[in-house]
């Protein structure tokens, strides 16, 4: 009974002050956790987009030097899916899209001011590396101009657009209403409660890429359990 009494005395100040300070503290921690989740998912996403860029570059270069035909992509798809069965990104269609992705920012690139270094016709532009692969696929299929793709990629990050919202903005020709001037890209996190942030955390390409080859301890393929074993949860608090 004495121990219980001592514990009660110790908790009383906390319980008394909780109504004033604890909710603010909890909300602050939630925001920090969500931002950390977004940073982690963005890091995984950048690696995946860089990988797809590299694969596209290899295919383009091999087609030039080794005269690869279309059948090679089918072979690559078969062999990569055999080696990485958990990854969803190695279908023939998606591998061809990687090739198109690389060419989209290295071929027929307009001459821009030197200050705009992201679109140089050689390197992976930073804005498109910051958005999910599904968003990039929409930019490839719906826009022919690399500068316009860059503009929409930046707006997607700034406003945290979902893939559907991005498609709507392209279809409504938002760029015509707001202008398409390109300036240097300054990396920012998408709003942590935005649609894009949620899609990043749930993106199947990122998830399959990050967890490829990993099995949970009990041998069951369960994505929810995988997140626990990795030491953090990708779910929203």
The answer to the question of residue 12 being in a domain is no
- The rounded Cα 77 to chain-centroid distance in angstroms is 22
For residue range 151-163, list pLDDT tens digits in order.
999 999 988 899 9
The answer to the question of residue 54 being in a domain is yes
The answer to the question of residue 4 being in a domain is no
The answer to the question of residue 16 being in a domain is no
What domain count does the chain have? Answer: 1
The answer to the question of residue 1 being in a domain is no
Domain containing 193 equals 31-229
**Cα distances (Å, whole numbers) of residue 169 to 7, 105, 144, 190, 192:** 58, 21, 15, 17, 21
Per-residue pLDDT, 3: 55
The answer to the question of residue 173 being in a domain is yes
Identify the segments of the chain with pLDDT beneath 70.
1-19, 108, 110-117, 179-194, 200-202, 204, 206-237
The answer to the question of residue 237 being in a domain is no
For residue range 44-83, list pLDDT tens digits in order.
899 999 999 999 999 999 988 887 778 889 999 999 999 9
Per-residue pLDDT, 113: 55
The answer to the question of residue 128 being in a domain is yes
């Amino acid at each position: 009974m004495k121990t219980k009494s001592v514990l009660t005395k110790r908790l009383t100040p906390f319980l008394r002050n909780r109504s004033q300070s604890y909710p603010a503290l909890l909300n602050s921690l939630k925001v920090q956790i969500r931002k950390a989740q977004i940073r982690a998912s963005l890091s995984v996403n950048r690696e995946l987009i860089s990988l797809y860029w590299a694969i596209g570059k290899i295919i383009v270069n091999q087609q030039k030097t080794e005269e690869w035909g279309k059948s090679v992509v089918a072979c690559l798809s078969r062999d990569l899916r055999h080696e990485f069965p958990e990854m969803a990104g190695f279908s023939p269609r998606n591998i061809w899209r990687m090739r198109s992705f690389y060419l989209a920012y290295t071929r027929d690139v307009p001459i821009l001011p030197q200050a705009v270094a992201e679109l140089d016709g050689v390197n992976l532009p930073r804005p498109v590396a910051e958005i999910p692969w599904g968003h990039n696929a929409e930019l490839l299929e719906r826009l022919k101009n690399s500068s316009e793709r860059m503009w929409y990629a930046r707006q997607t990050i700034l406003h945290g657009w979902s893939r559907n919202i991005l498609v709507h903005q392209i279809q409504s020709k938002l760029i015509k209403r707001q202008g398409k001037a390109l300036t240097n890209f300054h990396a920012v996190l998408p709003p942590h409660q935005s649609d894009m942030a949620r899609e990043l955390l749930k993106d199947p390409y990122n998830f399959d890429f990050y967890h490829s080859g990993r099995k949970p301890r009990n041998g069951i393929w369960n994505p929810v359990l995988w997140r626990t074993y990795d030491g953090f949860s990708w779910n929203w608090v």
